[in-house]
Structure 1
Amino acid sequence: MAAAKRLSPEQIVAKLRDAEKLQGQGATIPQVCKRLGVSEQTFYRWRQKYGALKEDEAIRLKTLEQENARLKRIVAEQALDISMLKDLAKGNF
């Protein structure tokens, strides 16, 4: 099986716009998916996540998701540090 090809949010939004055009021309969902080179499951997942977005909004969403992940890592590291310091203060080392 070939490795999955990752597309940027902008590319996904562009493909969804192409899909809308194809559907407007009378193509069925399976036909659209074949033209886009994706499975129907992928198409529906993309449409649920990016369907209402414009390309610049998709970029912003991706940036915010990355920032959120970074902040969650920082919070987890700080919680671990606090826990270690509490253990040291109690003498449980």
Structure 2
Amino acid sequence: MKKRFSEEQIVKILQEAQIADTQREIIRKYNISEQTFYKWKRTYGGMSVSEVKRLKELEKENAKLKKLLAEQMLVNEALKEITEKKW
């Protein structure tokens, strides 16, 4: 599923909502639902654009490390099976 707004855009929208008179104006302006707005607010509220970029980098790094760990665990399991067999 393709996102209409990037994380950076979402943060800018939320910052604009803090300045605006009502949140409903922002919701109408960007054609988003109230649920989406409040979900964004819960997730990205109070963050700056640089913090969102850093969060994105950390999530990518975490996914990479999880993949490496899973691969290493498979290798270890295979080595255990090989050593346990009686030739």
Shared fold, TM over 0.5: yes
2:78 counterpart of 1:80: no
- 1:57-78, CA deviations, whole angstroms, 9 ceiling, x for partnerless residues? 1111111111111111111111
Gaps in structure 1 of 5+ consecutive residues: none
2:64 counterpart of 1:70: yes
Count how many residue pairs are aligned between Structure 1 and Structure 2.
86
- The root-mean-square deviation of aligned C-alpha atoms, in Å, is 1.9
Give the Cα–Cα distance (whole angstroms) in 1 for the partners of residues 29 and 13 of structure 2: 10
2:16 counterpart of 1:18: yes
Give the Cα–Cα distance (whole angstroms) in 2 for the partners of residues 4 and 39 of structure 1: 17
Give the Cα–Cα distance (whole angstroms) in 2 for the partners of residues 20 and 90 of structure 1: 63
Q: Which residue of 1 aligns with 2:50?
A: 56
Give the Cα–Cα distance (whole angstroms) in 1 for the partners of residues 65 and 5 of structure 2: 24
- 1:20-55, CA deviations, whole angstroms, 9 ceiling, x for partnerless residues? 222xx2x2x444322222221211111111101111
TM-score normalised by length of structure 2 = 0.84
Give the Cα–Cα distance (whole angstroms) in 2 for the partners of residues 41 and 72 of structure 1: 31
Quick one: percent identity of the two aligned structures?
41
Give the Cα–Cα distance (whole angstroms) in 1 for the partners of residues 26 and 4 of structure 2: 19
Q: Which residue of 1 aligns with 2:36?
A: 42
Letter in 2 for 1:85: L
TM-score normalised by length of structure 1 = 0.79
